[in-house]
């Protein structure tokens, strides 16, 4: 059986070589029928290979909203997101990933292991669990690295897709939480590989601001009301300890923290106490 997969690649046109590499890795996939679109976030996609369509967004809507607009224009029983600086080295990646999910229907989202193609040290954050361990070891997870994510299309639609308001940061946590809230599991497939360059995301002040603001939005949009202050307090303490020697970054972080409480992102959809219990039994309650 040939699986139909809608693929969304988001780009601002600033990494043409990386985008070409990622699209070539998609076109090399075997055993799947792909409907691929490149979403130009404030960019008119050009120079795309045959069979790949472009979608022009006049302004940069942010990462989650841009991905969501792309989903509106692709067809398939599955939906796959691949960043414009990521690629999938195995020609059977998608068919292998789908096979994993079909063999265990409780899995509603799959993220592969991420490796730098040039052999640089891989950031530990690419393994989305507290106890990192062996990067090749698969497990349930409660957040995802968003650069290569596969889901059944009906589930993606049912949970409301990516969180449009976030713009950048923590949308992968919300997506994983909402998968758990739908009665499924988010899965880290350590036996499958995606390539991505090893870079430091904490190089701009907006990184700190959006991380703080979105952490509070994440709690307000998804957690039972009683857990919202507990979750925010725990992450505030963690951030203060982590950034004690970075006063510039912390100024931006506190600005985002206050904005998170002051502003209303909308879209509240509590995962509920039953899901909190399922996540706790699976290894990580949504408190830290």
In CATH, what number is assigned to the domain containing residue 45? Answer: 3.90.550.10
234 and 97, same domain (yes or no): no
Boundary residue ending a domain (195, 223, 250): 195
pLDDT at 199: 77
Total structural domains within the chain? 2
- pLDDT tens sequence across 203-258: 567 888 999 999 999 999 999 999 999 999 999 998 888 877 777 788 899 999 99
pLDDT at 173: 97
Output the CA angle 223-224-230, nearest 5 degrees: 75
- pLDDT tens sequence across 120-136: 888 888 899 888 889 99
Boundary residue ending a domain (161, 195, 229): 195
Print burial letters for 167-192: b (CB count within 10 Å at least 16), e (below 16).
Answer: bebbbbbbbbbbbbbeebbbbbbbeb
| CA neighbours closer than 13 Å in the CB half-sphere of residue 234 | 9
231 and 112, same domain (yes or no): no
Q: Is residue 200 a part of any domain in this protein?
A: no
CB-based contacts of 259, cutoff 8 Å, min separation 6: 209, 212, 213
7 and 111, same domain (yes or no): yes
Report residue 143 as tokens.
């957040």
pLDDT at 43: 95
CA–CA distance, 200 with 104 (Å, rounded to integer): 34
Q: Is residue 8 a part of any domain in this protein?
A: yes
27 and 61, same domain (yes or no): yes
179 and 65, same domain (yes or no): yes
92 and 147, same domain (yes or no): yes
236 and 95, same domain (yes or no): no
pLDDT at 203: 58
Q: Is residue 173 a part of any domain in this protein?
A: yes
Mean pLDDT of 257-281: 96
Q: Is residue 131 a part of any domain in this protein?
A: yes
- Sign of CA pseudo-dihedral 145, 39, 213, 210: positive
Q: DSSP characters for 200-211?
A: -STTSHHHHHHH
Residue 165 lies in domain: 3-195
CA–CA distance, 86 with 287 (Å, rounded to integer): 31
pLDDT range class, residue 202, cuts 50, 70, 90? low
């Amino acid at each position: 059986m040939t699986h139909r997969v809608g693929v969304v690649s988001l780009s601002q046109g600033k990494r043409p070589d990386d985008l070409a590499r990622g699209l070539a890795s998609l076109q090399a996939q075997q055993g799947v029928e792909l409907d691929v679109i490149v979403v130009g976030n404030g960019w008119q996609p050009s120079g795309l290979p045959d069979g790949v369509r472009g979608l022009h967004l006049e302004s940069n809507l942010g990462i989650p909203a841009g991905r969501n607009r792309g989903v509106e224009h692709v067809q398939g029983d599955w939906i796959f997101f691949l960043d414009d600086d990521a690629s999938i080295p195995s020609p059977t990646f998608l068919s292998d990933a789908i096979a994993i999910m079909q063999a265990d229907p409780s899995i509603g989202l799959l993220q592969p292991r991420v490796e730098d193609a040039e052999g640089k040290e891989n950031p530990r954050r690419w393994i989305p669990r507290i106890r990192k361990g062996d990067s090749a070891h698969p497990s349930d997870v409660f957040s995802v690295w968003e650069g290569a994510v596969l889901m059944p299309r009906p589930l993606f639609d049912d949970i409301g897709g990516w969180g449009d308001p976030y713009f950048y940061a923590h949308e992968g946590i919300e997506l994983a939480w909402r998968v758990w809230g739908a009665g499924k599991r988010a899965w880290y497939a350590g036996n499958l590989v995606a390539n991505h360059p090893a870079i430091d995301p904490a190089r701009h002040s907006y990184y700190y601001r959006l991380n703080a603001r979105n952490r509070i939005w994440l709690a307000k949009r998804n957690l039972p009301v009683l857990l919202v202050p507990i979750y925010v307090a725990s992450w505030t303490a963690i951030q203060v300890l982590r950034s004690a020697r970075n006063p510039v970054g912390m100024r931006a972080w506190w600005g985002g923290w206050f904005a998170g409480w002051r502003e209303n992102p909308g879209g509240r959809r509590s995962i509920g106490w039953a899901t909190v219990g399922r996540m706790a039994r699976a290894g990580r309650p949504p408190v830290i």
